Structure formats: structure tokens, C-alpha cells
Structure 1
Amino acid sequence: MVSLSPLALSLPVAAQTATTPAAPSLSVETIFGPGAVRTQSVRESRWGKDGESYLALEAGPKGGQDIVRYTIADGARTVVVPATDLVPPGATTPLDIDSYQWSPDDRWLLIQTNGQRFRRTNALADYWLFDRTTRKLHRVGGNLPASTTLYASISPDSRRIAYVHKNNLYVEPVEGGAALALTKDGDDYIVNGLADWVYEEEFSVHRAFDWSPDSRRIAFFRFDTRGVGTFDMIKNTGGQYSQVIPLQYPKAGTTNSAVTVAAVDVADGQTRWFKLDGDPRQNYVPQMSWAGGSDAVFIQQSNRLQNTYEVLLGDPATGSVRPVMTEKDAAWVEANVAPEWLNGGRRFTWLSERDGWRHLYTIDRASGRASLRTPGQFDVVELLNVDEKAGYAWFIASPDNPTQRYLYRTTLSGSPKVERLTPAGQPGTHSYDIAPGEHWALHTVSRFDAPPVTDMLDMTRQQPLRTLAANAPLAQVVRDSGLPATEFFRVDIGGGTQLDGWLIKPPGFDPAKRYPILYFVYGEPWGQTVADRWAGSQGLWHRMLAQKGYLVASLDPRGTATPRGRDWRKSIYRQVGILASADYAAGVKTMLATRPYIDPDRIGIWGWSGGGAMTQNALFRYPDLYKTGIAVAGPTDMTLYDTIYQERYMGLPQDNVDGYKNGSPITFADRLKGNMLLIHGTLDDNVHYQNQDQLVDRLIHFNKPFSMMAYPDRSHGIYEGENTSIHLYSLMTRYLETNLPPGGR
């Protein structure tokens, strides 16, 4: 996918104490600087199996981290594994825990540490096993080079551990001993047990293997990347000579990896490949898992256009497959995560838009017959928990307001009964991490003007037991900003289409004056900007601009991933960038006609990634409407982005030549009239810096004035390195103040 703004909610905000007067205004330094207060959140916690306790990581007295258990009801604290037990042989300090997992029998603690960058995460790591019985610690993989192991996972019987090293899948006893290579063909082009770049980015496949419940086999993906185009990124800040970083990256219309799926016996390495139909380079396998037991593997296979999904069951003993059901759509089908299995593996959960809304179904394994569990004209945003014993599924939805999110549940059998659990009178965006047994949940709620508050929620009464993160300093920042409450509204652009929007007004707003307005845009089918939730540091930057005298607004055009039904989301099929930019322009014009305080000579727009492309489309396609724009890390030509994302929404380039051409901003570069700032990281592995270079070359060809900034060796998020965020947002602020002067007139 083309991601939304990459800034996490944990970035710093304006520092304040009880004895320090509130700052009169926000600044880039107080939002992003090193002396700022960070957002409070509950991290590295996980539920105990009993559903009445949770585990947390806490700083140990002599370094490292203690693993601590808290009893929920009374808050009683017990150290389960002290950091002092996690000192490797020959070392003097404990391991620094990046992540951890318990073996199913609770004897073994698997610790991930020393993580190094691998694509978007620090997945290259060292893994250590701690035996709670003997209190001994040993390293997985013996003497493998540091940080060369990925995605270690303990078997369900707690006897073995599997991991990936140098693109091969290995298994070894948890007590230590020789590792068995389950695959041996891994090299620079053959990848076993982990995904290629595009599967990780677009299907969220990271660890591409899964233990069978009986621990006898492992199902895994094999990626043959030979023939996939190699994109060479250049690192220039590492020394006297540049460094070439090759990346197998399939661009729209080009060759994909050949993806195959197998089940391998962990005792002898015998491998059986599933007999999937079709060319493995012209089909996808977005998801694979065991089918509620060890007798079959559940496989989702998609054609290249991603408009037909075959749900299959594979026999791990023979490799044969049989179809269960087919999911089709005139536009595209979304992959499901691994399903929950019911009735002893005879039914499974499935999300589908087959009736025009994204609903939860249960599917009969034998016949493929579907049972609708969430009837009504609303979308299931996310399935959270399924508890067959309790008879319910819990999910997030918002039938009446697509900018908000609430908790619901429905029955798993009999006549569907859908009920809202989030109490009335609690508007905003609610998220829940529900404990086993559904007695307790970590509950977080925020609003656009209210930072997140996390509490331990008693699900039986929907009442908080205690607050775990209140974010009072952030709330004080909002109160001290002097800004009126953010306005949420809808804009009627005709033809029965209304766009959701929000608007921040300056302090002391005078409706008799005219103010500049800056629109924040995304507009692609993967994200939503108009949401009643806390927007983090970027939202504070928008408030800072409002303090300076700007109106700041956002609209969600058709095609954005809002819970407004299938037709809304898929109306942009084969016309991404075309319909959305037209909707946005219509929305801006309607606001101009109905809100006389907007200055038509000072209209700006900015966005990141897909929003960068939409900013370019706005400036080029509607040059008399927008006066200034800032495009960050934007794709300029659709053929330069990856196969899975671009073809899902646009079809194949050779079958939609006009759509690709007219949706690409670069096509209309000759129309630029206003001020434009282009910003890109030169080591962006997602939207390659090539996009900016090609657009710049085109603008030069037409002798169009513009500004640009290249951030050396920064990725798609443009955050690496000291002061990068401060520099970036200072640059954008200065550009706006110069080219879109603030203040009412």
C-alpha cells in the first residue's frame, strides 16, 4: 500500500509542568523537539492465559527489563522473570528485550534482541531461550552471526523452534542442539519462510511459515524472485563511495515472484507442494494457515487482478487441494486474515462485501455455505475476538458516523443479534484489546480534540477499573491552544454525494474576514483522514498553523477507506487519482461558495505518500483553484508503484492505458501555475525517489518553477537521523508562510 503519514502517535509534544506557564503558542520545536513530553501509552503488555492478569516489561534495577505480572482486579505485582536471570554466558549485563513469547507449556521464554533493520521493521535479530526450570539461557542458532535470524517461533508442543536464516527455514530442539535445514535452496533470489518485499508491504505477510497444531509439520511460502525487476537504491552518506542497495520490486505490469506453498515434515524434511492451479507468477496467495487442526492447510489464492479469491483446503500429506468457496467482485476482493475456526473445525469466520457492506459471515467448511452474522447497512471495520464458548464475536463498527469507531458484538449461531457495547454518550474513536474470557479489556478512546486515554475496562459493566494512561499534559496543550473546537461536517458536491470533512479555525476567528485555508489530503483507497481521533504530532502541527492564522481542513473523497459501504470505496476502480481529485475540487468549490471567510486567493493543499500524489493532481489538474501545495513522498507515475497495490485498484496497465495515464500526476505537469514544494527521501524503498526525479525532469522540460527538497538516505517516513522531523516541518512551515501568507484580511 501507499502508506499514510508515517508519524507515530508517540512522538513528543509540547513540554509542560505544573509550575511552568503554558506556552502562548505551539512551535515545531515544542512539537518535535528533544525536550518535549511524549504521549503516554500502555506498551509491551499482554494478557495472562487466565484472563485475570497481564504481563508487562519494566526496567530492571541493574539494566535490562523485568517481566512482571499484574493481577487485574487488585493490581498486585509479581516479578515473573527478573532481568538478572537474562544475562548471557560470559556477559555482564542482561539482554535488552525487543520482544518475547512464551512456549505453550510456559517453560520456555523466547527473547528477541539486538534487532537490526529489515525493510520496515527490526526483524533481523538474535533469539535466546530461557528455561524457567533450570534458569539457564542459550542462544538459538548456536554460533550464527549476530542479527541474522528472523521470525523465530516455538512449536505448539513446546519441543522445537523454527526460524529463517539466509532465506532458508530451520528447526532445532528448544533444549539446544543441531539445527535441521528444512529448505536448502535459499539464496539471493529464492526465499523460504519469509515474504518478498511486495507481499510484506501489501498483504502484511512477514513470517511466512506456520506450525501445525500437532507440531509435526510446518506450512511455508517459497518466493522465487528471479525475473522480478531490481530497483537499485543509492546510499550516499555512508563514506567516500556510494553504496548500491538492490531491491527486487515488481512495478505495475511487470513480473511478480513465483509463489508456492508447501508443508514440510519437521522430523525428516520431506516436503509436499500444494497443487495450486495457474501460473504462480500470475496469481497470489495472500494468506495461508492451518485449518483448525493438522489435517488441512487453509489457503486463499487470488488471480492477478485480485477480483477472484479461491478459498482452498490443502492436504499436507499429498499436496492435493479442494475448493471450499469463491469470493468475487467486479472491482477487487480484500484478503482476509487467518480465520477463527468453530464447531471443531467445521466452520470458519469470513469478512465479505458480497451484499454491498463489509460483514461477518461464518462459512461451512464442507459446503461453503455462508451464514450472515452482522446484518444491516453498515461495515464491520475490524473483527476483534471470537469466543465460541461464549457464543459471540466482538467487532468494531460505526453505523451512523463513519468518522468514529465503537465496540459491538454479535451471536455466532441462531438468529443474528447485533448489539452496541460502547455506552451511548461516548463519541470518538474507541479501540479494545480484549482479554481471554472477555471480562477485561485495555480500552483506549480519543477524539480529534482529545488525546487518547487508556483504561482497564470491566467488560461486564462497560466501566473503567483504573486509568493507565491519561495524557493530561497533551490535554493541557489542547486547552491552552486557544483554538475553537474542531468542526466536523459534510459537503454536498451534487449527484447525491456528500464528503466528510473537518475544519480547524484560528483563535479569535472573525467570520467577517477572509483566511487562507490549507487542506490535508490522502484520497487513496487505503486510508482515511477525516476521523474523530487524536492525530498525534502531525495534528499538533495543524493546530500550530491554525494559531498562526490558517484555516486547516481535510475532506475524504469517494474511494477512501471509510465505512460507508462497498460502492463508496470501490467507485474509484480503474480511476484512482481521477475521481478523487475531482471530488476534492468540487468539495473545495462548495466550501468557497458557502463559507465566505475562505480566501479564494489563498487555498493550499498538502499530503504525504498517496496524499503527495493527490496534492500534485490537485495543483496540476485544477491550477486555478489551488495556489500552493506541498507533496511529500508522492508517487508521480502509477507505473512506478508496485503490482499488488496499483493493479488491485487500477487493473493491469496494458488493459487500462488511459486510466494509468490520466491518474498519474506527471501527465499534467505542464499545467502547473501555483507554488509547489516537492519533498522526498532518497532511500525510499516504497515510493522510490525515482518518482520525484522523473517529475522534476518533466517540470524542467516545461520550464515550470517549483521548489524541492531531497532528504539524503531517508526512507518513506523521512524520520531517520537527528533533527530530521524538526527540519522537515520547519521547511514546510516556512514555505507556507512565504507562499500562503497567514492571517485574516
Structure 2
Amino acid sequence: MKRIGYFGVLVFLTSQMAFADQVEPEQVERSLSLRANWMTLTRDLMMHPTWAAEGDAFHYKLSVKNGFQFFRDTVERGEPKLAFNHQDIAGALSQTSGEDIDALQLPFDRFRYADNGQSIHFYYAGQSWKCQLNDATCSAMTRQTRPKAFGVVRDLRVDAHNVPHDSPNGRYRAYVEKNNLVVETSAGEPVFKTSDGKSEHFYDPESIQWAPDGSSLVVMKVTPGDARLITRVMTAPEDQLQPRNIVQLYPKPGDAVDKDQPVLVQMAEKEAHVIDNELFGQPYQIDRVEWQEDSSSFTFRYTERGHQLVRLIDVNAETAEPQALVTERSDTFVNQWGTFFQPLHEGNKGAIWLSERDGWAHLYHYNGAGEVVNQITRGEWRVRSVVHVDEERQQIWFSASGMYPEQDPYFEHYYRVNFDGSGLTALTEGNANHQVSFSADMQYYISLRSRTDLPDIAELRRTKDGSLVRELARADISRLTAAGFKPPETFVAKGRDGETDIWGLIVKPQNFDPEKRYPVIENIYAGPHSSFVPKTFWPFGLHSGGDKVIGMQALADLGFIVVQIDGMGTGNRSKAFHDVAWQDLADSGFPDRILWHKAAADKYSWYDIEDGVGIYGASAGGQSTVAGLMFHPEFYTVGVGFAGCYDNRMDKISWNEQWMGYPVGEHYADSSVVEHAELLEGQLLIINGEQDSNVDPASTMQLVDALINADKDFDLLVVPGGGHSVGRSSGPIRYIQRRQFDFFLRHLGQRETPDWNRITSEKSD
């Protein structure tokens, strides 16, 4: 036998070890194609049931062989038929958009009929579309209103939609001319005109609203906010060689917003009254202007800068005097992402209002004097949405979660209750999440019942007693199961207070072996505006802020355990649970997440966190990913951050001021990972689309600059032309996902990844 020295043995063993731990290209390719291969394996899984504006007709999306189709039906008929000719629509949309569209993979989930059923409207590729059904032609619909950046600053580069607003009684029409309000008769004779309108204080034609009887109108006089413009360079446009500049109106935290001042014009007196703004003098936003049906007053919602004070203001149409029907205050934030209110028009009027003042989101009944008549719902559970308010019957239909202690507290159920709080009636049942759609007359509803481990069951029921009319669809996942799908495991552990349950999901590899140990990766999204761990069955597509189960499964199949957790600071639990995020987005629920991981490791021998946990996320999840590596480096050691808002001062005004408050202070810097670049440990891959219109791409480049200045190593992938969802639903998805997979395989899995440059060269040969 030939003798070799120590060095030769070391080289031999190292090469053998590298070979044994090498990932084969086929393994990665299977994960990259998992979603496409599994997407069409379900049958009869209903999505997005939609009722007609009147009558008993409805339509829905249904999984069929090789894809999806839309069907329509009625309560009485019970004979579903195709909602339109899918082949014709696919062909017309392909021709107009330039994209190759499959009739069984139409790129929209919902549509509505228009023009007496002769056309359909839907949203696709960032804009609204209209397709005529008789001649199968499709066209993008032109936006008619002036854009309002993040809802608070009008884009004055775009002309307002200044068409005459006719009064309901047909006597007058109103419009804006040279920044002033003009009212004339229907015959064009001048009746009233303001003279104080200027470019710096203009009357907004799109805000004109007539009283139902035509006796008055309300219009907003606007003091424009800061016109902050950011410029992005499209370095590789598809239609030309040279780069192109893209300019976007993009207000950021601390910027001045448009200040809307309501003005009441009384037609009998031909007088304009500027409404006293003592009750709404520091607006972040004034919205939801609505007249009483008897024209006696109009209401609007006032959100004060800082999101700690919200009022429902009622303005008397005769006296022009405002009063606060409702005043809502919070020491932290009033959650405008989970709000509901509805002015009442009968009796002594008033409003139905959603508040978290007792620690949970509940409904309150106010009278016309601004007094609380009664609290309608109460308990350690929260109202999630209000579907319908029936003033005649004094009843409310709503959804709620957390009412059943034995169930997942995020599962939604639907109920009916009387204004006085009596008669609480459940309309759904079973240990599952429910999605319900009601007919226009509230006589019927379609309920979709599912869990991550329970495929959807769609039922048509009667609202009066919840009785079953018929089962509409029952999902068949036998082919999906045969292909290897297994539902994720729900896991619950105590949070930082030792009492609160923290809920999450565990996704295992398809070839899972309980005798092995698997490194763990967390898919993080900790945005306070909602909760994010999936609760319904559908495992494909996108989830707000991160992958759904199949995206996690694809990564798990490479030899990982992949999890998703809703820590404190996220929504849909108690007010105290939510308040953890207040002025501290760097917290990201990490104390709860780390305890959750440790509890899972204590329970399962295969849950390996000894050498650190991987983490990835997009947008706010990107910020949390980097925060994990910086602020908890003893626990999180490898991260991939997509499109992160790494410094909340650089991101859009609306989301960040809601949770970080106003004015901008040192707490913004405290949560910034850019300001703490010197703390980075572990391995980091940053991925960003250069055309991100949601988070200013400069946020990413400022983090890169700070890391370079701190002499830190990291990987960076900038995708030319990529948007905010790069790596999720746009751009070269396969390439970006493969880079993410490779990064975790090398740095967390300690495995050698394929030589993709060689492989792609061989393929091209």
C-alpha cells in the first residue's frame, strides 16, 4: 500500500468530508420548482367568493385540473357554470399586456362584473383592468384621481380630476377654477365663487361633496405638505440602452403633510364657512367625509399627528359648528390599521365605534350628543372586522378572534349582536378559521372553513339561523398529499412574561428523520399592523411580509427546520400584546421568539439551535433580520434580508409614524440597524430591488455604507429593475431564491453548494 504523510491524510479526509456534505444540483432544483410542481395538485378548493351587488348570484375561484377557473352560481339554482370564457380572456389579456398568460392561470384572484354583466374588472400588474366579454378585449383603466402619496400628500405634478359635481337636486354644479371654488346653476349661471384660493391654499375639486338635498356642500381647502421627491435610477431598462431616472413623491416621517381645512358652503345664503378647527388643529389626516341622509350635518374622521388622538367630528349644516361625537386617546398609539366606525342616520344618530380602551378591540354605541350609550361587545377577545350595521334592526354582524379559549386565538369566527349588547349569536362553528362573505341583502352567506391542516370546506348558509343550504365545495388534496405534502405543525410556548401564549408553525423536510438533528431557520415578519403566521389551509402564494408554507417547505427540504412565529408587538391580540412595538420596532418580539425556539428545542431532540438560528424576512422582516444579527448575535447567526426598511426615518411616513410616533426623536435612531452597524456578527446577505417604490432603496445602501465603514463583511445582491417584492412575486425569482438557499446551505448547513456557473455553462452548450 502506498504510504502518505499527515498532510496527505488531512487533504484526503477534507476532500471526502466536502464530498459527503455536498448538495447536489437536483436537490436545489427540486426546491426551486416545488411551488410550480405542487400548485395545481388541489381540486375543488374555493377562494374569494363574491356576491352580486343585488340578488342571490355569486361567483368564486376554484382549483381544477392544471390550474384554476372562475365559476358563478345562484342560491336557488345550485348549478355552477363558468363565469366567463377563460381562453378568450387569457388571449385578450396576453395581447394587450405582452405577457404569456395561461387560461388556467389567470393572474388575478378576484373580479367584479360591470356594465350589466358585459364586462369584468380586476387588478393586475399594479393597475386596474377591464375586459369586455362579448368581443374579448382588455384594456388598462386610466386612474381618474390625483395620486396622494401614502394617503397624506397630494402629487401636485398631476392635475386633479376637476369635473363638475352636480348637486343631487339638479340645481347646481360645483368645480374649481384657478384654485377657487365655483358654483353655478345647471344652466351655467354664476352663483357663488371664493376669492381666497391660491396655489399655497387651494380648494380641492376632488373633495367636493354635496348634501343629499343639495342645500349645502363641503370642500377641503388645502395647505400642501412637503413635496419630497426621491429619484431611482433604472440601470438596465428593457426598452433602451441608457439608464432612466424614476422620480417618486415619497413623504417620510417628520415631513409636513397636506393640511385639509373643511369649508361649508350654504346655498340659501350663498356663504362659505371655514369650520373652526380647534378640535382638529394638528391633522395627520382628515378622511371619510360623510353627510347625514337628512342633510342636517356631515361627519369626518380626524387623526392627529402622532396617532395618539382620533376624533369623529360632526358639523352642523345650519350653524357650521363642529362637535366631537367620539374622542379616542392612547398613551401609545390608536391603531388605524384595525379601525372601524360608522355614523348612524336614524333616531338620535351617533355612531358605532371600535376601540381598544379596555385592553381589547370592542364595539361601542355613541349617541348624537357624543355620549357612550353602551359598550356593545366585551371580553378578553377582539373584534376583527365589522361586516354590516343594520340600523333598522339595531344589529351588527362582525368577525372576532380569541373568544374560545380552547382554540387558536387567531382563528376568526362570525357573529351577530344587538346594539345594546344582547343577543350575541355565533354564525360559524368548529375549531377552524373562517372566511365569510354575505349576500347584499344579508340573507345568505358563504363560509370557508379551514386550518393549515384542514383543507377548505365551502358552505352556503342562511344568516337568520346559520342553517346549511348546501355544501358548495370540499377541497381534495389527495394528489398534493401523494406528492409529499404534509401540513406544518402548530407549536405554542410562553412569551417573555411567562404567561402569554406565543403561537407559531414548524415546517419539516419531506424526508424528515426524527433521529437526526436539523438546523433551524426562522421566517420573520414582525410588522405591528397585523399577525402573520398562516391560519388557513392554502399553502401557496404569498403571505403579507413573508412566504406561505410552500416557500418554507422548499427551504426545509434542503435539510432545515423552518418556522414562523407571531411574537409580541404584532397585531390581533390584546392591546398590551400590541403595545410592545410602540417606538421600539427593533424589539421585533425577539424575547418571545427566542423563548419559543428554546421551548421547541427542549421538546424535540431534532430541533438543533446549538450553533445558532438562521433568519430571513422582507421589508419590516428585512429590518428584523438584520436586528437579530446585531442585537441578538448569540442566538441568530445567519440572515438574509430582503428590501428592508433598515432605518424608520428613511421609510414611508404612514407605516412608520403609526408605530414610531411623532415627532421623530432619538427612539428612531435606537431602532435603526444602520446606526448600529458596528454590532453586526454572523453572516448576512442583503437583497434589494433597485426600483423599490415601497421602501426607499437608499435605506439599503445606507446600511451597506455603514457596514463598510464599520469594516464588516456581508454579501449584497442588487436586482436591476426589481421592486419591493423582489424575491417574492416579481423579478428573477428563481435566481434570487437560489441565492437565498445557497447562503443558508453554506453558512448554516455547513454544506458545499453546486458550481452554478459551470452548470449553467454546460446547459448552454
The reply to whether TM is greater than 0.5 is yes
For the Cα contact (< 8 Å) 1:149–1:165, is it kept in 2? no
Alpha carbons of structure 1 residues 720 and 548: separation in structure 2 relative to 1, 3 Å: closer
Alpha carbons of structure 1 residues 586 and 717: separation in structure 2 relative to 1, 3 Å: same
Alpha carbons of structure 1 residues 55 and 590: separation in structure 2 relative to 1, 3 Å: closer
C-alpha deviation, 1:309, in angstroms: 1.5
For the Cα contact (< 8 Å) 1:260–1:280, is it kept in 2? no
C-alpha deviation, 1:536, in angstroms: 2.7
> Which residue matches 1:572?
581
> Which residue matches 1:3?
none
> Which residue matches 2:417?
410
C-alpha deviation, 1:572, in angstroms: 2.7
Answer with 256-265 or 227-236: which moved more.
Answer: 256-265
Task: Say yes or no: does 1:379 pair with 2:378.
Answer: no
For the Cα contact (< 8 Å) 2:458–2:472, is it kept in 1? yes
> Which residue matches 1:246?
247
Q: Tell me how far apart the structure 2 counterparts of residues 671 and 630 of structure 1 sit (CA, whole Å).
A: 17
SS at match of 2:342: coil
Alpha carbons of structure 1 residues 462 and 478: separation in structure 2 relative to 1, 3 Å: farther
For the Cα contact (< 8 Å) 1:272–1:316, is it kept in 2? no
For the Cα contact (< 8 Å) 1:170–1:182, is it kept in 2? yes
Q: Tell me how far apart the structure 2 counterparts of residues 267 and 55 of structure 1 sit (CA, whole Å).
A: 48
SS at match of 1:548: coil
Q: Tell me how far apart the structure 2 counterparts of residues 49 and 234 of structure 1 sit (CA, whole Å).
A: 48
- What are the Cα deviations for residues 371-394 of structure 1, in whole angstroms up to 9, with x where unaligned? 111122211011112223444212
Alpha carbons of structure 1 residues 427 and 299: separation in structure 2 relative to 1, 3 Å: same
Alpha carbons of structure 1 residues 386 and 110: separation in structure 2 relative to 1, 3 Å: farther
SS at match of 1:502: strand
> Which residue matches 1:733?
741
Answer with 365-374 or 353-362: which moved more.
Answer: 365-374
**1:166 corresponds to which of 159, 163, 171:** 159
Residues 655-674 of structure 1: pairs in structure 2 closer than 5 A: 656-657=665-666, 659-674=667-682
C-alpha deviation, 1:517, in angstroms: 0.8
For the Cα contact (< 8 Å) 1:285–1:302, is it kept in 2? yes
C-alpha deviation, 1:328, in angstroms: 0.8
Alpha carbons of structure 1 residues 191 and 250: separation in structure 2 relative to 1, 3 Å: farther
Q: What's the C-alpha RMSD, in Å, of the aligned pairs?
A: 4.6
Q: Tell me how far apart the structure 1 counterparts of residues 305 and 710 of structure 2 sit (CA, whole Å).
A: 37
> Which residue matches 1:679?
687
Task: Say yes or no: does 1:360 pair with 2:369.
Answer: no
Alpha carbons of structure 1 residues 109 and 217: separation in structure 2 relative to 1, 3 Å: farther
Q: Tell me how far apart the structure 1 counterparts of residues 369 and 76 of structure 2 sit (CA, whole Å).
A: 43
Alpha carbons of structure 1 residues 674 and 482: separation in structure 2 relative to 1, 3 Å: same
Q: Where does structure 2 lack aligned partners over 5 or more consecutive residues?
A: 1-26, 63-68, 90-95, 97-105, 135-139, 148-156, 180-197, 542-546, 752-765
Alpha carbons of structure 1 residues 338 and 704: separation in structure 2 relative to 1, 3 Å: same
- What are the Cα deviations for residues 543-578 of structure 1, in whole angstroms up to 9, with x where unaligned? 223333321112222110022x11111133222223
SS at match of 2:565: strand
For the Cα contact (< 8 Å) 1:126–1:149, is it kept in 2? no
Alpha carbons of structure 1 residues 446 and 264: separation in structure 2 relative to 1, 3 Å: farther
> Which residue matches 2:524?
521
Task: Say yes or no: does 1:147 pair with 2:157.
Answer: no
For the Cα contact (< 8 Å) 1:350–1:362, is it kept in 2? yes
> Which residue matches 2:52?
47
C-alpha deviation, 1:53, in angstroms: 3.1
For the Cα contact (< 8 Å) 1:32–1:725, is it kept in 2? no
- Counterpart code for 1:236: T
For the Cα contact (< 8 Å) 2:31–2:558, is it kept in 1? no
Q: Tell me how far apart the structure 2 counterparts of residues 236 and 416 of structure 1 sit (CA, whole Å).
A: 62
Q: Tell me how far apart the structure 2 counterparts of residues 681 and 636 of structure 1 sit (CA, whole Å).
A: 14
Residues 295-444 of structure 1: pairs in structure 2 closer than 5 A: 295-315=296-316, 319-335=320-336, 336-337=339-340, 339=342, 341=344, 343-344=346-347, 346-398=349-401, 399=403, 400=405, 401-413=408-420, 415-423=421-429, 426-444=430-448
Alpha carbons of structure 1 residues 630 and 57: separation in structure 2 relative to 1, 3 Å: closer
Q: Tell me how far apart the structure 1 counterparts of residues 700 and 605 of structure 2 sit (CA, whole Å).
A: 36
Q: Tell me how far apart the structure 1 counterparts of residues 256 and 506 of structure 2 sit (CA, whole Å).
A: 44
Residues 623-662 of structure 1: pairs in structure 2 closer than 5 A: 623-654=633-664, 656-657=665-666, 659-662=667-670
> Which residue matches 2:192?
none
For the Cα contact (< 8 Å) 1:48–1:55, is it kept in 2? no
**1:614 corresponds to which of 604, 615, 624:** 624
Alpha carbons of structure 1 residues 590 and 321: separation in structure 2 relative to 1, 3 Å: same
C-alpha deviation, 1:605, in angstroms: 0.9
C-alpha deviation, 1:324, in angstroms: 1.8
- What are the Cα deviations for residues 640-697 of structure 1, in whole angstroms up to 9, with x where unaligned? 123333223222354x41x222211222222222121111221212211111100011
- Counterpart code for 2:325: V
Q: Tell me how far apart the structure 2 counterparts of residues 507 and 421 of structure 1 sit (CA, whole Å).
A: 38
C-alpha deviation, 1:516, in angstroms: 0.9
> Which residue matches 2:102?
none
**1:581 corresponds to which of 560, 584, 590:** 590
- What are the Cα deviations for residues 558-600 of structure 1, in whole angstroms up to 9, with x where unaligned? 110022x111111332222236233333433444455443222
Q: Tell me how far apart the structure 2 counterparts of residues 73 and 289 of structure 1 sit (CA, whole Å).
A: 36
> Which residue matches 1:14?
none
For the Cα contact (< 8 Å) 2:144–2:161, is it kept in 1? no
Alpha carbons of structure 1 residues 326 and 467: separation in structure 2 relative to 1, 3 Å: same
Q: Tell me how far apart the structure 2 counterparts of residues 383 and 79 of structure 1 sit (CA, whole Å).
A: 31
Once the two structures are aligned, what percentage of the paired residues are identical?
A: 20
> Which residue matches 1:160?
none
Q: Tell me how far apart the structure 1 counterparts of residues 435 and 350 of structure 2 sit (CA, whole Å).
A: 27
Q: Tell me how far apart the structure 1 counterparts of residues 744 and 84 of structure 2 sit (CA, whole Å).
A: 53
> Which residue matches 1:142?
none
**TM-score, with normalisation over the residues of structure 1?**
0.75
For the Cα contact (< 8 Å) 2:38–2:483, is it kept in 1? no
SS at match of 2:531: coil
C-alpha deviation, 1:305, in angstroms: 1.4
Alpha carbons of structure 1 residues 192 and 397: separation in structure 2 relative to 1, 3 Å: farther
Alpha carbons of structure 1 residues 611 and 389: separation in structure 2 relative to 1, 3 Å: same
For the Cα contact (< 8 Å) 1:232–1:247, is it kept in 2? yes
Q: Tell me how far apart the structure 1 counterparts of residues 437 and 635 of structure 2 sit (CA, whole Å).
A: 44
Q: Where does structure 1 lack aligned partners over 5 or more consecutive residues?
A: 1-22, 59-64, 87-92, 136-144, 153-163, 195-206
For the Cα contact (< 8 Å) 2:506–2:564, is it kept in 1? yes
C-alpha deviation, 1:172, in angstroms: 6.9
Alpha carbons of structure 1 residues 593 and 100: separation in structure 2 relative to 1, 3 Å: closer
SS at match of 1:578: coil
Q: Tell me how far apart the structure 1 counterparts of residues 528 and 387 of structure 2 sit (CA, whole Å).
A: 22
> Which residue matches 1:161?
none
Alpha carbons of structure 1 residues 182 and 270: separation in structure 2 relative to 1, 3 Å: farther
- Counterpart code for 2:616: W
- Counterpart code for 1:419: T
Residues 72-87 of structure 1: pairs in structure 2 closer than 5 A: 72-75=75-78
Alpha carbons of structure 1 residues 42 and 571: separation in structure 2 relative to 1, 3 Å: closer
Answer with 703-712 or 605-614: which moved more.
Answer: 703-712
Q: Tell me how far apart the structure 2 counterparts of residues 721 and 596 of structure 1 sit (CA, whole Å).
A: 36
- What are the Cα deviations for residues 188-246 of structure 1, in whole angstroms up to 9, with x where unaligned? 9999879xxxxxxxxxxxx9676654577765656554533222233333323433333
For the Cα contact (< 8 Å) 1:483–1:506, is it kept in 2? no
**TM-score, with normalisation over the residues of structure 2?**
0.73
Aligned residues: 648
- Counterpart code for 1:404: F
> Which residue matches 2:499?
496
Q: Tell me how far apart the structure 1 counterparts of residues 583 and 122 of structure 2 sit (CA, whole Å).
A: 44
Q: Higher Cα Rg: structure 1 or 2?
A: 2
